[in-house]
Structure 1
Amino acid sequence: MRAPLYLVLATLFWSGNFVVGQAAMRSMTPLELTFWRWALVAVPLLLLAQWVERPDWRAVLRRWPTLLLLSALGLSGYTLLLYSALAHTSALNASLITAANPALIVVMAMFMLGDRPGPVGWLGIALGLFGVLLVLTGGDLQQILHLSFNMGELLMLGAIVVWGLYTIIARRLDVPAIAATAVQVAMATISLMPVALAAGAGLPDTAEGAWSLAYVALFPSFGAFLLWNLALKSTAPAVAGNYLNLMVVFTAVITLLLGMPITVPQILGGLLVISGVLLTGMKRRTRQPAMAEQSART
Structure 2
Amino acid sequence: MNAGRAEAVGPVLALILATLFWAGNYVVGAFAVRTMDPLELTYLRWVIAAVPLLVIAQVVERPDWGAVWRRWPVHLGLSLSGMIAYTLLLYGALRHTSAIDASLINAANPAVIALCALALFRDRIRPRAATGILLGLLGVLVVLTDGNLPAVLGLQINRGNALMLAAILVWSLYTLFGRHLTGSPPIASTAVQAVLAAVVLTPMALWSGVHWPQEHEAAWSLLFIGIFPSVGSYLLWNMALRRVPAGRAGVFLNLITVFTVLISVAMGASLSLAQLGGGALVFCGIALVSSRPQPAAASTRSIEPTTDPQDTV
Short-chain TM bin:
0.7 to 0.9
Question: 1:43: Cα distance to partner?
Answer: 0.6
Which residue of the partner structure matches residue 148 of structure 2?
143
Is structure 2 residue 33 aligned with structure 1 residue 25? yes
Question: 1:23: Cα distance to partner?
Answer: 0.9
CA deviations over 1:165-191 (Å, ceiling 9, x no partner): 111011221111011000000111111
Q: How does 1:252-263 map to 2 (within 5 A)?
A: 252-260=261-269
Name structure 2 gaps, 5 residues minimum.
1-7, 300-313
Structure 1 CA distance for aligned equivalents of residues 296 and 29 of structure 2: 38
Amino acid of the structure 2 residue aligned with 1:58: G
Which residue of the partner structure matches residue 37 of structure 1?
45
Name structure 1 gaps, 5 residues minimum.
292-298
Is structure 2 residue 172 aligned with structure 1 residue 167? no
Q: Report SS of the residue matched to 1:149.
A: coil
Higher helix share: 1
Structure 2 CA distance for aligned equivalents of residues 260 and 40 of structure 1: 30
Structure 2 CA distance for aligned equivalents of residues 188 and 33 of structure 1: 12
Structure 1 CA distance for aligned equivalents of residues 212 and 106 of structure 2: 28
Question: 1:41: Cα distance to partner?
Answer: 1.0
Label 1:177 to 1:21 Cα distance change in 2 as closer, same or farther (>3 A).
same
Which residue of the partner structure matches residue 204 of structure 1?
213
Q: Report SS of the residue matched to 1:40.
A: helix
2:189 equivalent among 173, 180, 186:
180
Which residue of the partner structure matches residue 193 of structure 1?
202
Are 2:108 and 2:137, in contact at CA under 8 Å, matched by a contact in 1? yes
Question: 1:248: Cα distance to partner?
Answer: 3.6
CA deviations over 1:100-143 (Å, ceiling 9, x no partner): 53322111111333322312323443454556667x49xx9743
TM-score, normalised relative to structure 2: 0.72
Question: 1:93: Cα distance to partner?
Answer: 5.8
Is structure 2 residue 11 aligned with structure 1 residue 13? no
Q: How many residues align structurally?
A: 282
Amino acid of the structure 2 residue aligned with 1:160: I
Are 1:101 and 1:244, in contact at CA under 8 Å, matched by a contact in 2? no
TM-score, normalised relative to structure 1: 0.76
Question: 1:21: Cα distance to partner?
Answer: 1.1
Which residue of the partner structure matches residue 296 of structure 1?
none
Identity %: 49
Structure 1 CA distance for aligned equivalents of residues 133 and 11 of structure 2: 18
Q: Report SS of the residue matched to 2:228.
A: helix
Structure 1 CA distance for aligned equivalents of residues 213 and 195 of structure 2: 21
